Structure 1
Amino acid sequence: MTRFRKLGQMPIWLTVPAFGILLIVFGIPILRLLLTSLNAPALSVANYHAFFGQAANIRLLVQTVEISVVATAICVIIGYPTAYLIVAASKRLRMVLLVLVLIPYLTSLLARTYAWIVILGDNGLVNKLLLDIGLISSPLQLLYNRFSVYVGMVHVMLPLMILPLVSVMLGIDKSLMAAARSMGARPFAAFWRVFFPLSLPGVRSGVLLVFILCLGFYITPAALGGLGDAMLSTFIAAQVKSTFNIKLIATSAFVLLAIAGILLFMLGLDLSSRHHRAAKKERTSWQRRVPSFGTLARYLNELAAPYRAKRWTAELFQARDEIYLTKQIGAAFVVLVMSFLLFPGAIVMIMSFSAGAYLEFPPSGFSLQWYRSFFGDASWTGAAWTSIQIGIAVTILSTIVGTLAALGLSRTSPGLRSVLTMAILTPITIPLIVVGIAVFLALVNLGLIGSKSGIVLAHSIGAIGYVVVIVSATLANFDRRLEQAAKSMRAGPVPTFRRVTLPLILPGILGGAVFAFIHSFDEVVITSLVSGFSIRTLPLKMWENIRHAIDPTIAAVSSLLMLLPVLWIIAIYFMWWRARPKHVPTAATADIG
């Protein structure tokens, strides 16, 4: 009996609600998908042979990987120097730049996609500007092609590349660069030999996140691309809504999942030390195979030592014009990147006040007609109210379940915690279309297709992951001795949690709740698969209007959605920073108490 009582008190049981929802809504269906793709119970790869036997499928798969690779590469090329310059800025300026990066990240995906339709269209801002200055005589085809797909995907994914890079770069000791410079290394050499290797974990994290999400992209390529720019996710979604060939759907989904798994295996299993040790071993073995080159290099290095010392001494007293010019170029680059992230939203906001019968820039007059159209149309306001209701339900469910899971994970062994955390985060770390197919099958079996309860469950598996991440980050800085002190005063587990733990981790819980609501309110891919014909959320209403009839009312809706990130950031600020305790006991005071 004592053994069972101790087992019941183990913190791992706090994760049961989260894993229960995850297993029912995602785990079991994804296993069924796998077995279906393997022709269970016969277990064969005939479906995969049939998939790869179709030239059109191979072409679609290659195109999906190509688009994802190019979009990821562009994000790295733009994101790395942007993150580096953000980290190099002063603390106050760095916070401002991070907020400017967060604003588009928190903005509705559909609102950002619609902004590029307005800017790149035949009557859009770019073509109108080029026509007005006489550079072109007819509109350029900037929309519904591969170019617009890359523009839209990079605009959506760039914040997800910058934020992990900034997180890693902030942890790099700047004195290492100074030490390299003091030894005579030029700025680029110091960066390449010291800073860049230490920032590789951020590069790998950003590449993994962006590439895997690009693999499952559905909305942006479908809205901005042409018929020749379809991705495998578009093909899967079309199959669900038309023939519903479950074997083809399952096989296509697991082909996508296999590509993501290969990349995770290559980059995600080791992000730091072993990579450097392997590189060191590789260099050592190479030097053993070609010892003469190493000897020659050392000899030349010794000959160049006096020259480097002389050059370093001279550079100590030379004018700083080159450094000034570099700073100006860096500042201009950051301004361009921030303009790319924020400019589309600003343009749509301005155009939403147009007084004409269609959107134009600059507006010929000021009017609130499109806002009145939104608030006066029951289909728009009804969809918005449905999204709010679902978002609140998802927030409540995922915050409670995710917080319990984070508490349980924080009290387990590091090895088990790592495995369980990865399992909880699976729905937000694999291609979204695969998650949508699995959730669709689960809700079909539960009879919840086309119901608000089904959409709440569908959104919750991703929202729980966000809550777990944010609350776990808060618990990482939580001093467990405070709980021990309360228990030593004969406080039970519930009073200890309510009086000690909860007030200290409340900012993290509220922050997780905000992100859970954002995740639900902006979700469209999974919702489009499981909503049926009876439930219309605001993103679904916008998606239908974007695809079938560009209603200028969408500009007003997009403008309202673009203002929400400012409210989210203000809310997070007051929840996270303002809610911190004014006095945190130090180790010394804790020991005295």
Structure 2
Amino acid sequence: MPILLSVPAFAILLAVYAIPIVELFLASLDAPSFSLAHYREFFAEGANITVLFQTIEISAVATAICVIIGYPTAYLIVAASKRLRIVLIVLVFIPWLTNGLVRTYAWVVILGDRGLLNNLMLELGLISSPLHLVYNRMAVYIGMVHIMLPAMILPLLSVMLGIDKSLVAAARSMGARPFVAFWRVFLPLSLPGLRSGLLLTFIFCLGFYITPATLGGLNDAMLSTFIVSQVEAVGSVASVAVPSFVLLAVTIVVLSVLGLDLSGNQGREGQPAQTSFRPSWLLSFGPLIRYLSELAASHRAKRWTAERYKAGGNSRRSAKTVGGVWVALAIFFLLFPGFVVMIMSFSDKPYLEFPPSGLSLQWYRSFFNDPSWIGAFWTSVQLGIWVAVLSTIVGTLAAYGLSRTHPRVRRPLTMVILSPITFPSIVVGVSVYQGLFALGMIGTQSGIILAHTVGAIGSVFIIVSATLANFDRRLEQAAQSMRAGPLRTFMRVTLPLIRPGVIGGAVFAFLHSFDELVITSLISVFSIRTLPLKMWEDIRNQIDPTIAAVGSMLTVLPVLWLIVLYVGWWRSRLTAQSGVSVPTT
């Protein structure tokens, strides 16, 4: 039975994550008496309600900004030439792979009282004293949008690249103006990508902890901050469980609303898909609208006849110019903070300055000569390798087994595997903390490995499943017809062809572990210091220029991973071509 291959993955998830989250839910209901007393106590505090609504507000505003910036950017990237499109996609993808703590630190450097912006305005004489650009709500929005913007753009790109451009051209040939063709044709077809981007961005924003804690003030706390404070205070299980499940309830509500098919595929069979966003009260004006439309029909026909042979001229050139500027500004917003950190890491001063008055490698030497930094780095590398190996094995087996299981069974099991990367990270961290606490693995490396593996399995599962979706199973049947057993068929036929997906899953699993901070801080209890934990401690205590050197190296790391992925894809392609070559006589 192929489903048995997913047993190792579900065993880890059940022991470390699923069973503890059920126990937390029962504790929040005061089992076995089962009452809502803990929830009533939570909502009786006005401060808790304020923080809850503040969390939703900050997440919603950050998501809206990502939509406003991300949708036009994705649309313009798709409209670019093939070579330029590939370059732009890579430039969007690099920040997504960069450590989130490094990007948050970059904005501290840029927005600080003696940061880049204040120094620049002081030099130009625009201000007489530094402005308070950090430790406020605006700084939180800037940091969150900078981190989540790739999560909005990439799902949009995946859908927009599959839209047939001839449909928009057909609408234009029927007299539709560019905006009308976009609104009536392109936008409805891109709604699945928009929905995915909204879900990813809003749910991740709900669980944000590092960015609000670093860039925000006391009035910008989110519910994740409250949960972490309860865990650190070693409060009762209910005091941690109740806010976690309140946040989880908000997530489920959002999933139930945005999880619906907004692309217009829910209509009854045989009927055209409806993708209109018009409120129901507008339907009463239907006869009047149709009448006015008939009156304007002759005007539209004359305009179309007069303009159909006209060249785009200056309007088309100006549109391209505006679009190019928009994409350039979006890419600049994503890449500039990392560029600032890299330049400042070469400063020869004992403090951060941009641009550096002199160049030096002293902060890189400080990193490599400091045993605490090197120890934290190698701890992160070791943990990342263990997590990558474990999650790649069990995640690949689960993806392979569930891909050959009936859809009715596969769908709910897939939801369980993906829930750790779907729910807010702070909720997952609390449940994993509860599970590892019951197993006596808090403050151990094995506990951190299991905690990281819970989320890394989902990343491997998604990538390998996407690879298997394009796999021709007739190749396996051909091997088995030649008396190859299941294991030999998998090792000699299936695995070589899905190797890029497996390598990609391993890389993302390593990055997931290497960059993880929130869950690590809960599980390690700061007894085991990873590189992100060491950076987090130094950022909270002082702005050490050594962090700029570390951030610079972590900014270059995604480029190396993309090269590894490309080499793996290239070798797999050569293997596939050589495998299907037909000898000639």
TM-score, scaled relative to structure 1: 0.94
Partner Cα distance (2:39, 2:178) in 1:
52
Partner Cα distance (1:574, 1:341) in 2:
26
Partner Cα distance (1:319, 1:66) in 2:
43
Partner Cα distance (1:269, 1:301) in 2:
32
How much does 1:297 deviate?
3.1
Match of residue 173 from structure 1: 164
Match of residue 195 from structure 2: 204
Contact 1:507 1:580 (8 Å CA) reproduced: no
Partner Cα distance (1:213, 1:532) in 2:
23
* CA root-mean-square deviation: 2.1
Q: Deviations over 1:342-401 (max 9, x none)?
A: 000001100000001101011111111100000000000000000000000000000000
Contact 1:504 1:581 (8 Å CA) reproduced: no
Contact 1:18 1:401 (8 Å CA) reproduced: yes
Out of 329, 352, 361, the residue aligned to residue 359 of structure 1 is 352
Count of equivalent residues = 578
What letter matches 1:72 in structure 2? T
Secondary structure (helix, strand or coil) at the match of 2:573 reads coil
How much does 1:104 deviate?
0.4
Asked if residue 490 in structure 1 is aligned to residue 492 in structure 2, the reply is no
After superposition, residues 56-205 of structure 1 pair within 5 angstroms as 56-205=47-196
After superposition, residues 300-311 of structure 1 pair within 5 angstroms as 300-311=292-303
Match of residue 370 from structure 1: 363
Bigger CA drift: 565-574 or 306-315?
306-315
1:319 to 1:85, Cα distance in 2 relative to 1, 3 A: closer
Match of residue 465 from structure 2: 472
Secondary structure (helix, strand or coil) at the match of 2:348 reads coil
Partner Cα distance (1:98, 1:281) in 2:
28
How much does 1:276 deviate?
5.8
Partner Cα distance (1:302, 1:34) in 2:
59
Match of residue 461 from structure 1: 454
Q: Deviations over 1:275-300 (max 9, x none)?
A: 5669849999969973xx43443333
1:282 to 1:197, Cα distance in 2 relative to 1, 3 A: closer
How much does 1:317 deviate?
1.6
Match of residue 543 from structure 1: 536
1:390 to 1:281, Cα distance in 2 relative to 1, 3 A: closer
What letter matches 1:51 in structure 2? F
Match of residue 38 from structure 1: 29
Partner Cα distance (2:561, 2:362) in 1:
27
Among the aligned pairs, what percent are the same residue?
67
Contact 2:188 2:275 (8 Å CA) reproduced: no
Partner Cα distance (2:477, 2:62) in 1:
50
What letter matches 1:390 in structure 2? L
Contact 1:511 1:576 (8 Å CA) reproduced: no
What letter matches 2:334 in structure 1? L
Contact 2:421 2:455 (8 Å CA) reproduced: yes
Contact 2:497 2:576 (8 Å CA) reproduced: no
Contact 1:287 1:294 (8 Å CA) reproduced: no
Secondary structure (helix, strand or coil) at the match of 2:447 reads helix
What letter matches 1:398 in structure 2? S
What letter matches 1:181 in structure 2? R
Out of 383, 386, 398, the residue aligned to residue 379 of structure 2 is 386
Match of residue 507 from structure 2: 514
How much does 1:176 deviate?
1.1
1:281 to 1:188, Cα distance in 2 relative to 1, 3 A: closer
How much does 1:320 deviate?
1.4
Unaligned runs of 5+ in 2: none
Partner Cα distance (2:86, 2:142) in 1:
26
Out of 573, 579, 585, the residue aligned to residue 580 of structure 1 is 573
Match of residue 216 from structure 1: 207
Partner Cα distance (2:275, 2:152) in 1:
30
Partner Cα distance (1:214, 1:504) in 2:
36
Out of 285, 291, 315, the residue aligned to residue 299 of structure 1 is 291
Asked if residue 531 in structure 1 is aligned to residue 524 in structure 2, the reply is yes
Contact 2:136 2:216 (8 Å CA) reproduced: yes
Q: Deviations over 1:260-289 (max 9, x none)?
A: 000001111435344566984999996997
1:318 to 1:496, Cα distance in 2 relative to 1, 3 A: closer
Q: Deviations over 1:519-541 (max 9, x none)?
A: 00000000000002320000000
Out of 428, 436, 439, the residue aligned to residue 429 of structure 2 is 436
Partner Cα distance (2:257, 2:22) in 1:
23
Partner Cα distance (2:259, 2:286) in 1:
33
Partner Cα distance (2:78, 2:170) in 1:
19
Secondary structure (helix, strand or coil) at the match of 1:579 reads helix
Contact 2:106 2:340 (8 Å CA) reproduced: yes
Partner Cα distance (1:46, 1:14) in 2:
42
Contact 2:346 2:363 (8 Å CA) reproduced: yes
Match of residue 322 from structure 2: 329
1:487 to 1:355, Cα distance in 2 relative to 1, 3 A: same
Match of residue 256 from structure 2: 265
Partner Cα distance (1:262, 1:443) in 2:
28
Asked if residue 14 in structure 1 is aligned to residue 18 in structure 2, the reply is no
Secondary structure (helix, strand or coil) at the match of 2:572 reads coil
Partner Cα distance (2:288, 2:567) in 1:
61
Secondary structure (helix, strand or coil) at the match of 1:580 reads helix
Out of 239, 248, 251, the residue aligned to residue 239 of structure 2 is 248
Match of residue 413 from structure 2: 420
TM-score, scaled relative to structure 2: 0.96
Secondary structure (helix, strand or coil) at the match of 1:172 reads coil
After superposition, residues 309-348 of structure 1 pair within 5 angstroms as 309-315=301-307, 316-348=309-341
1:281 to 1:113, Cα distance in 2 relative to 1, 3 A: closer
Bigger CA drift: 335-344 or 531-540?
531-540
Partner Cα distance (2:312, 2:219) in 1:
54
What letter matches 1:443 in structure 2? L
Partner Cα distance (2:474, 2:136) in 1:
59
Secondary structure (helix, strand or coil) at the match of 2:358 reads coil
Match of residue 3 from structure 1: none
Secondary structure (helix, strand or coil) at the match of 2:126 reads coil
Q: Deviations over 1:192-248 (max 9, x none)?
A: 111111111111111111101100100110011111111000110011111423211
1:285 to 1:456, Cα distance in 2 relative to 1, 3 A: closer
Unaligned runs of 5+ in 1: 1-9
